[in-house]
Structure 1
Amino acid sequence: MKNLILSIILLICATANAHRTEVNILDTEAGKIAALAKVGGEMGRFFDKQKGLEILSRALSEIYTIDKKEYRETVLAAIANEYAGLDETKKAINITRSITDVHLFATNMGKIANKLVKSNPTLANELLNEAVNKARKEAAEDDLPALLAELSGKYIRLNKTDVAKELLKEANIAVEKIKDIHLDDKLSLYAEIAANMVAAGQKEEAFKLFDKAYTLSSQLKDPFERAAILTMLGGELAEKGQPEKAIQMLDEALKVSLLIKDEQKRIDVTSEIARNYGQSKKFEKGIEIAKGISDAYFSSESLIVLAKNYAKTKQTNEAYALLKEVVSKTASISSESKKATILAKTAAELTELDKKEEGKALLEDALKTLI
C-alpha cells in the first residue's frame, strides 16, 4: 500500500498515514535529520529564510549517513518538500527526482505542484503529469488507486476538473482489479477516492461510496481495523462539510477502539479520533481524548491539530491555551527528534497566531535539541 509503515500497516487516512510514517522515522537513526528538516523549513518560512536554507543544507548533507534506503528516501522527500515551501522549486524538484520509490516520488511531486498553483500553473501541470505517468508505469497494483486519487485533488486546484474525474474513474476501476485485497485496505481506498470525488463535484457518487465503505466496515472483525476505517471516514466527512455524519462515525470508532488490546495501536487510533473531532468542531470531546493519551508525543500531536482547528474558527484564545499546554508536555518526550518536531510544529502554530517571539524561541529550542 501507499505507506512505509513499519509497525502498523493500515491506512488510517492520508494525513494519518504521513504522520505514522513520520513517527516511525523519528524512532530511527534518521530521526534527527527529519526533525532538522522540519525546523529548517519553519525557520525559513516564518523568520529567516537564509538560516532556514542553511539548516536544510545541513540536513541534506547528512542524508547519506542513513543506511536504510526507505528511511533515507522518506527523509529526502521531507527535505524536498521543505525546500519547496521556501520557494526553492528547482532544488525541490531535483531532490524529488532522485527518489526511486514511486509512491514517495509521485506524492512529493504532487505537493510541489500544489505550491505552484498560483505562481506557476504551467510547471505545476507538468509536474503532475510526470507524477501520474510514473505512477501508471511503475506503481504496484495496490498502490496505484491511492496515487491516482491523491493526484486528482491537485489537478482540481489547477481547475483541471475533467482530468481529475478521469483519474478518479481510473482509480475506482483499479481498486476492483486488485487481487486478494484486504477489506480494510479496500475501504481506505474507497474513502480516499470518495473524498476527492466531492472536491471534483461528484457529490452523489462520492457519498454513495462513503456509505458503501461504512456498510462494509461492519464486516471487519479486528477492532483496530474497524476503528481505523471509521476514523478515516469521520475525518473525510468532516473535511467535506458533513460534521453530523462525521461525529456519528467518530463516536462509533471511539467505542470500537476500547476493544483494541495492543496499546500502541489504540494510541494511534485514539490520537486520530481526537484530531478528527476537532475537524468536526466537537472540540471538547477531542481535547478530552487527546489529554487522555498516555504517550506525550501523540497527545501533543493531537492537541496541535485541535489548536489549528480552533484557530480556523477564530477561537484564538482557546488555540493559544492548547499550544501552551503542548509546550509543557514536551518535557515528557524523551526522544530528541520527537521533542524537536513537536516544538517546531508548535512554533509554527504560535507564529500563525501572531505570537512570533514565542514561536521563534521555540524554534531555537528545537534547534538546540538537535545540534
Structure 2
Amino acid sequence: MRLRSAAAPFASLALVGALAVGVTPPAAAQPAVLAIWTPDLTTGEPAGVRLDGGSVRLDGAGAYLAPVEEGSAPRGAAVPTGLLTLRPQQLPGATDRVVTTVVGDVPAGSDAVVDVRGRRAATGGWTEWIPAEPGTGGMVAELPEPTSEVQGRLVITGPPGSGPTVRGITLAAQPATGRLAQAGAEQAAVHYRVFATREGLVGGTTANGHVITERDHFVALPSRRGLSPRDTSDYSVKVCAPNGRCAFAPVWDVGPWNTRDDYWNPPSVRQEWRDLPQGLPQSQAAYKNGYNDGKDQFDRTVLNPAGIDLADGLFWDALELDDNAWVTVDYLWTGNERLSAVVGDLPVLAAPDPAAPPVGIAANGAAVPVQCVLGQGADRWLRIGAGQYLAGAAVPDIGAPPGCATAVTGTPDTTGRTAG
C-alpha cells in the first residue's frame, strides 16, 4: 500500500470505522468486508525503524538499502529501508484480498508500503509477503490462496533524517472469491541451481534486524517477499553444494545485488524482471547474457551471477566451501510439505546413528521437512531427506509424521528436491 498524504481527505478510513460498528453502506459504494482492524504500531517488531510518540520513522542504524518503491527517486538510487512487522490477525472467515490504508507524512524521495501475507491451511506456514498495489477499492494485496489469518508489515524508505512518518494503518479483508481454490493441490518445493557467494559483514545488521555474528547460519535472497521476521523460520531454504553437503537455514537478509527479484516465482507472479524465465536470477542473466546492459536494479555493473548469499558459518562450516560456488537450493516454503523448526545448530547425519558421518547442518531457526520418524524417546531420529537425519530432540514440534519403514542411507539427497 502506498502512503497517502496526511492532508488528503480520509473518507475511506471514516467509512471503515462506520462498517466496524455495523453501519452498512449502499451496495454499490463498497465491496463486502469480512473484517477491518487497525494494528497497534507499538506492538510491532521493528527492523530499521523506531517508534517516536506513537509514529513510525526510519532508524538509519538498522535500515538496509533499497530503491524507493514508487520510483520517485532517480533510477538506481538506494535509500534506507525499514520494516515494522505487525501482529497477525485472526479472521471470522477466509479472505484472499486485503485493502490497506496508511496515514502519515511522506516527503519527496521517500515512500511507505504495506506487505500482507496469509497463513496457509495446507502447511500451517505462511504465504510470501505480497506488496499492496493499486486496485479496485484502493491499495490491494491479492493473496495467492484463501486464508483466515493474515499479517501486515509496514515498509518505509527514505533519505536519512527525512523519511516518512507513519501514524496509523488500517487493513480491510474482503471475503475470499474462491478463484484460487486449486492452491491447496499437492506440490513439491521449487528448486534451482544458482550461484552462491559469502555474505560476511560480521557485526552488521540484516534486513530483518538480526545482528550478524561470526560463523553465523542464515541466507539472503534478493527479495523481501521471502524474508523471515527476526529469529523465525517462516521462510527457509535447503542449500546443497557440489561436494554433497547440505544445509538448512532461514532467510534473514535481502540480497545479493537486487531487492525485488523473487526469481523462484513464475513470471506472472515475479515482482520485477518478468521477461526472465522462472528460476533465473536477474544478476545471472545480467552477468552471463548482458541482460539490462549487464546491470542490476541499482545500475551497478553485475560482477558475478549470485542468486543467494550465505552467512559465514553456513559457507565454511555447513557446506565446507572455500570459494563461491554453484549450489542447488530448495525454497522450502513454496511446497505443501509441513515444516518444523530446528532448535540449535545441529549436524545432519548420513544415517540414524550418532556415529554416522555428518553431511551438513540444520541451523538454529531453520524449518525442515520431517518426512518420517525412526525409534522412540532418546533413540528417536527424524529423516529430513534421503541420507539426511536429525536427532529427534532437535525438532520438538513435528506434528504427526509417519514412521519410517526403513532407514534410507547412502548418498545424501543433493538435488535440491527433498526426497520422499
More helix by share: 1
Question: In terms of Rg, which structure is larger?
Answer: 2
More strand by share: 2
TM over 0.5: no
Q: Which structure is richer in relative contact order (CA contacts within 8 A, separation 6 or more)? A: 2
